[in-house]
Structure formats: structure tokens, C-alpha cells
Structure 1
Amino acid sequence: GSCGKKAIPLAVLGAEVTIFDISERNMRYALETAEAAGVSVDFVLGDVLEPDMEKYGGFFDVVFMEGGILHYFHDIGKFMEVMHSFLRPGGRMIASDFHPFQKVMDIMDFEQPVTDYFSTEIVRGEMAHARFYPEEIRKQFPMCEYRKYTMSEIINAVIESGFLLKRFDEYPAWTDKRYPGEFTILAVRDANVQNATGE
């Protein structure tokens, strides 16, 4: 959910939106911006991997994430299981993220560490947008720990959590169109398929 930069426009278009994020500052920004836009959004402050499933299990028509979040979760299987559990049968997950090619080449100029494509190590680096700030502000951002996945790890986590994979698309990097920069996955919670937890 972050600061609501996608959730608030969806609310303006008429969607009922719930944002999950761990940052209190993001919550404050999102709620103030939503109020200024004349819409309301729900904001759940906390770890999305520990949601209130009595309230949110099978609750949503769509779960949506974009702009580089998967690498913040060190257990992508658990993350995808939670996303699957959020959805009603027939609900859709849309995941748009940075391409795992970023592991071996900083093609998007994020100034983040690169590594072996098949590495499973946790790497430490800045948030992707930190480079846009003056140096004195940039130094104030906390460092993050990333688990950068291969494409097969991402796709298999989607499938193994019980989703029916409907579409997978890759897009060129905006810095050099010869290389992959982003991807989008569309998956559905099939009423006839169970995930690893039997849901």
C-alpha cells in the first residue's frame, strides 16, 4: 500500500480500498491525501504477513501490488499464501514489480547492490527512491534488507499458494529497452484449488 499513491486514485474511481503497510508515516500521508481528494480509504497499520484473517480472510475481490515490494519479504511463499487467503473465490491478484534481472544488473539505475542471479542471500541497501533526495535527506533513510528472487521463485510461489496463473507479462526497462525492467502477473483464486494450508 505504501503512501496510497495507487490506492487513492482507485478510490477516486469508486473502489472500496484497504491499504496494508507497516509505516505510520505512510498511513498519515495516505489518510491526509485521501481526505484532500474527497475519498476515504481503510488503512491497516502493521505486518501484512500477520493480518486479522477473521476479518480479511476471503474478503477482497482484488489484491494489487506494484512498484517493487516482493523483495521486502524474505519468505515469498508465505506472502503469496496470505494474498491467496485475502481473496474470495474467483478473486484476482495483480502483482506488478521490478524484474529479477535487477539481481545481476542495476539496469533501472536504482543504485542497489547486484549479485548472482541464483543467490538466495539477504542483501542490504537503500530504498529505491532514496537516490532522488538531496544527500543530507538521503542519509536519514533507513537501510533495507532485500531478498531478491528469481523469476521462477516468484511464479512458483504464486502457483504453489493455490493461485491459478492467468497471465505473465514482461516489460522493457525505461533506461534501456533491450533489457527487462518490470513484469506483471495476473492470478486468480480458483474455488476448486487449495493452497498449501488447505484453504
Structure 2
Amino acid sequence: MSVDLGSGDWLEENRANWDERVALHVASPFYDRTRLRAGGSVLDPIAQAGIDRMFPDGLGGVRVLHLQCHFGSDTLSLVNLGAETIGIDFSRPAVEEARRMAGELGVADRARFIEANVYDARHRLPDPESFDLVFTTWGTIGWLPDVAEWARIIAWFLKPGGRLFFADGHPSAYVFEGDAGPGGMPAFAYPYVSTGPDIIDDPSDYADPEARLVNARTWEWMHPLGEVFAALRDAGLRVDHFDEHYELPWRMFPITVPKGDGMFGWPDRRWLPLGYELDASRPATSVVE
């Protein structure tokens, strides 16, 4: 099923869903911003370790593009760590809250937020080869129909020698859902390889278990690891680091339990990876179309 990357039901219904989530998330303890207000970071341990690995001397002077930034808590964490940032998100309420928070923190001169669909980013920010780091984590590409174009956009924005940090839920975990399996385990629900979107009606929200969304319909895509790696390679990027993780910064399945530092994982053995991360770089000699 082909889709228009710049418009269509998939984009409008997903946007309405995320617009509605903003107020819930701002009010939820899941997105506690106490450390952010104190000048610190709310990056999850996986993202923080990735930043420390890629930039051992810190983020001072590093220019960051944060794709699908939601209401900017991670973007502003990167600012508190020394970076200059631009965050992009397609939800107007999210961008408005990000801008408000940047003003509250007094960092609006180093944190700019743009309302845009990822696929329109090159039109809203016509500034190629201008970023040292593209950052995008947790619940991102599953909302996008075309990861090949996503990767080309990342490469277009990176300076030669620039880096990508990407982390997301593992596609091998996304084939399951709920707790209908043996012993409360998740049950198989979706194919690992699909030819189109899964159109899902689900009024629940991961950050507020009591919430029931009115805009409950979403369009989501499965992107196997091979597809993601091929997209990055074909865009001229080199994967420098890859790791799988058995903990996530949200409760993917009811059976997962708190593991500390805001992370959730399997209660006993490591059944299968829940997330993955990678670092990629644009070689200094590459040319991006």
C-alpha cells in the first residue's frame, strides 16, 4: 500500500492521536521534568550512554537535529548537556509546549523547535550538511511509512563526519502485544515483514494507564532490522555501533517490570530483545543527493 509522504489519512490520524497525547504526557509523572528544570538531563540510560560514547568530551559546540522530538524534553536535555539544538515534530501542541519550556528554562537561544512532518524537514529547514549529530529515539520510525527516505533526510542534514544516534523498540518484540500468551506473556499479533501499515484502534496511552484517547486510530509500520540497515547504507551512512537491549524506557508489555532508572524489562530471563540502538556516521568524503 503506497502512501503520500506529505499528506493523507495516515498523517492526519497519527497527528490527531499525538496532539491529544501532549496534555496527558505533560501532566504525567512518566514525563517528570524535575531534573530538566534543575539544569540536568532526563535522557534514558541507553541514550545517555550513547551520547557519552559518541561524544566523550561532551556536547559543547555540538549542533544537534532532533527528529520526532515530541514536546522536547530530550532536546532540552541535550541543551543542558551543552548542545545547540533544533527539534522537529509534527504536532503543533507538542512544539508549542517545547517552545514554552525552552523559555521557562532560559535556553530559547539554543533550542529552536519547528512544526513539521519528518518528510517535509528539508523544506522547513533548508540547511544541508549543517549538523554534527542527528538524534532520534524511542517510538519513531514505526510511525513512518518509508525508512529509505528517512535515512536520506538524515544523511542530507549531517555534516561530513557527522553522526546519527538512533534507538527504538526492537522489531522482533513488535510482533507481539498484550498478555494473552502463556503465563501472561505477550501473544503473537503482527508479521515481522508486512506490505503495508497496521491500522490500529487503541484508546490507551503508555504514559497514563487511565487515559482513553478520543483520537484512537493510528497507522503504524513494521521496519525489520535489515530494512533499517539497508536504508542507512544506501543513504551513504556507515553503521559504527549496534547493540540490542532487554530493557526499555517504557512498559512495552504488561509482564515487564521496573528495572530502575525508569527502565522496564522481563521479570526473569531475557526472552527476546525489547530495543536496539545504533550509531552511524556520514563519511567525511561522502556526497549526499
TM over 0.5: yes
In structure 2, the partner of 1:78 is 149
After TM superposition, give the deviation of residue 85 of structure 1 in Å. Answer: 0.3
Give the RMSD, CA atoms, in angstroms: 2.6
Q: CA deviation at 1:129?
A: 7.1
Task: Tell which structure's C-alpha radius of gyration is larger.
Answer: 2
Partner residue in 1 for 2:279: 186
Q: Contact between 1:58 and 1:85, CA under 8 Å: does it hold in 2?
A: yes
Is residue 104 of structure 1 aligned with residue 141 of structure 2?
A: no
Residue ranges of structure 1 left out of the alignment (5+ in a row): none
CA-CA distance at 1:91 after TM superposition: 0.3
Change (3 A) 1:129 1:142: closer
Contact 2:204-2:213 within 8 A present in 1 as well: no
Partner of 2:253: none
Closer, same or farther in 2 for the Cα pair 1:35/1:154, shift >3 Å? same
- Relative to structure 1, the CA distance from residue 73 to residue 149 in structure 2 (aligned partners, 3 Å threshold; closer, same or farther) is same
Task: Call closer, same or farther: CA 1:69–1:165 in 2, change over 3 Å.
Answer: same
User: CA 1:102–1:126 in 2, change beyond 3 Å: closer, same or farther?
Assistant: farther
Q: Structure 1, residues 57-81: CA drift from partner, whole Å, max 9, x if none?
A: 1111100000110111101000100
SS in 2 for 1:57: coil
Q: Which amino acid aligns with 2:197?
A: I
For the pair 1:44 / 2:114, whether they are aligned, the reply is yes
> Partner letter of residue 194 of structure 2?
S
Deviation of the 1:141 alpha carbon:
3.6
> Could you say which residue in structure 2 is the equivalent of 1:175?
265
Moved over 4 A (4+): 126-129
Look up the match of 1:88: 159
Q: Distance in 2 between matches of 1:126 and 1:57?
A: 38
1:4 aligns with 72
Residue identity matched to 1:183: Y
Q: Report the equivalent of 1:122.
A: 197
Further displaced range: 71-80 or 167-176: 167-176
Query: What is the CA-CA distance between 1:131 and the residue it aligns to?
Result: 4.1
1:127-171 Cα shifts (integer Å, max 9, x gaps) = 897144365x42324422011111111111111111011011100
Q: Distance in 2 between matches of 1:170 and 1:44?
A: 31
Q: 1:76 to 1:115 in 2, by over 3 A?
A: same
SS of aligned partner of 2:265: coil
Deviation, 1:126, is 6.0
Q: Gapped runs of 5+ residues in structure 2?
A: 1-68, 248-263
- Find the residue that maps to 2:134 and give its secondary structure: strand
Q: State, as a whole percentage, how many aligned pairs show the same letter.
A: 24
Does the 8 Å CA contact 2:163/2:281 hold for their aligned counterparts?
yes
Once the two structures are superposed, the pairs formed by residues 152-163 of structure 1 within 5 Å of their partners are 152-163=226-237
Equivalent position to 1:65, from 131, 136, 142: 136
Asked whether the equivalents of residues 203 and 215 of structure 2 are also in contact (C-alpha less than 8 Å), the reply is no
Q: TM-score, normalised by structure 1?
A: 0.86
Contact 1:99 1:183 in 2 (8 A): yes
